[in-house]
Structure 1
C-alpha cells in the first residue's frame, strides 16, 4: 500500500512548517449522575490557556443518558513542539439548549499540556470538582491526522415498525483489551431505507492503528431521540479492502436485506510528530561554564549573576528549554555538567566530565 503526500514547498523552513494537527479522542468513566429521573447527558469542552486566560476551543456532542461516554466528535488542535500548550478538559451535564456553560451542571475537569498527551499517546486523569473532590475519570488519546476518506454507498435497510428508519453508522476498531472501540459516527439520514452518507475523513491510526489489514466493524442503528437506538445490523471489513475497491464494494451481512459497502482513499504527510508518536524520547543535558570569562557572579552584568530578585540569563534559558523537553523525557531527569569551577576542599579546576555541584 503506497502512501502519498504533498512535499513541503522549497525554501527556508519556518515555524509554520513545524506545526502539526493532532486529533484528541475523549471518553469518560463513572461520571456523576446529575439527573433525577435519568442519567446525565454529558458533553466535553476543550479550553486552551492563552495569555493566562482559558479560551474555549471546541465542544463534543452530547451523549444522552450515559455515564461512560465515548464521544465521536474529536478535538483537532495545532501542535507546536516549541511551545507549552496548556489544555483543560471540562465535562458538563446538558440540561438546557443554552450555549452558556453556567446553564449546565458541572461534572468535573482536569488540565495538562498537549506535550504530555502527545508523548504518552493516551492519558487517564481523575476529573476534579471545584472543591478538589474526584468525580469520575476522563481519558484522552492522541493521533496525528493521517486522513482516510470514506465514501459510503447506499444500504438497503429493513423497515421500521412505524415507518422508514432514521439510520446512522458507527465505525469500531479492536482495542488492546479485546473490546471494540468507537472511532467515528456518521450523521443520521432521516426517514429512508436507502441512505447515502456524506464522505468523511478519519485518521488512519485512529481507525485501525495504522494496520490496513486490521478488521473494522461497522454497525448500523435506527436513531431514537431518547438515546435508545435500535440495532439494524453490522458488517466487518478492512482499510486495505476498501482502498482496493474501484467502487463501493458489496459486503454481506445477514441482518441487512441488501448490500452495503464503502470505499476509502489514504493520503499522508510525514512530520516531526511521527517520531514522537513512534516513541522517540528527547533528552536534555545542561552544560555550564564556570570560568572567570563569564564575570563575577556578584556583578549584574555577568551571565552568572546571582540575582536576589529573580533568575539570571543561564537559569532563564534552562527553564525555557526544560519546560518543553520535560514532556518528552520519561524519567524527567536532566544531567547537569560543569567545567572551569574551583571547588573545595582541594580547589581543583573542574573538567567537562565532572557533574555540577
Structure 2
C-alpha cells in the first residue's frame, strides 16, 4: 500500500493545507454554531479551482484523479468537516454523469460543475429505503419526450442548494434493482413540483445543507436519462465505490485534525507541575491515536489510487477505507476529548465539534455495517 504522491499532488496538498489553515479553520466554529451553509467557502473553492479536481481536463477539470481530490478533502476536513463535504459531494453528484452519461451529456453538464458555477447533489436515499436502496418507491413514468417523477428522498447533502441533482427512481416498479433508473435534474430548484426542505437539529456537520426532497410530478426531459432504463442501480453502486474513499478522506482529516490539536494541548497543559504530555497514560493514548490515523491513511490513499488505476479491487478497498477511516475518526476524536478533559467537552475548543462531525462518517455513503457486508462478500465470493 505504498502510494507515492507526484509533484503536482504534493503542491495541491500543500496549497489546500494552507488555505484550510488560514481561511477555513477560523470559520469552522461559526459555521457549526449558526448551522448556515457557508457560501463564502463555496466562493473560495471556486476562486481556487478546487471544484475542478474530480474532473478531467476535457470538461474544464484539473486532474480527474480520486487520489488528488481526496488529498484536498482530507486537508479541508482537518479544519472543517462541513467545508470538506462540499468538495466531496460535488464529486458525488457528478460521478453518475461521468460514469453513466453520454458524451453529449458530459459536455452539457460537467463544465458547470467543474467550475463550481453549479453545485451538485446525489439523491438515492428515501425515508423507507436507506441501506436497501433497491426498495425505493420514487417513480419515473415516461410521457412522450419527458419522464414524470413522483416521490421523495431524504438526507440529501446539498439537496436544497444544488442546481444539478442526479435522482434515482423506479421506471419499472416491479423490477427491483433492475427497475431503477437515473436522471439528471438541471436547474432543479426552478422545476415545477420540486421542493427541498432543510433538515435541522443534526448532531454534526451542522453547516451542511441536508434536505428532504419532494417530487410532485416533476417533468424531466427523456434526454436526461443516464444510460438505459433499468441501469440506475448498478450505476449507483459504481458511484459509491468511487465516492466512499472521499468520505474516508473526510474522516481521516477529522481524525488528523483532532490528533494535532490534542498533541498541541498536551504539550501546553500542566498538571502536577509538568506538561500532561509527560505522563505515560497520555502518551499511550496519543500513540494509539496516531497508529489508527496512520493506518487509515494508508488504506484511504491505496483505495484512491486503485480508482485512478481502474482496478477491479476498488469495491473491496473502498469499503475497507470507509470502514477503517470512519471508525478511526470516531475513536480518535473521542480520545482527543478525553485528553482535553473538561475543556474537551465545551465548544470553546474544536475537538467536541470534531467528535460530533466524525459520527456521520460511520453512517452515510453506506453504514459501516454495510461496508462489513461488502468486505465479507468479496472475500467469500473469491
Scaled to the shorter chain, the TM-score interval is under 0.3
Query: TM-score, normalised on structure 1?
Result: 0.23
1 or 2, which has the higher helix percentage?
2
| Structure with higher strand content | 1
Higher relative contact order at CA 8 Å, sep ≥6: structure 1 or structure 2? 2
Structure whose alpha-carbon radius of gyration is higher: 1
- Name the TM-score, length of structure 2 as normaliser: 0.22
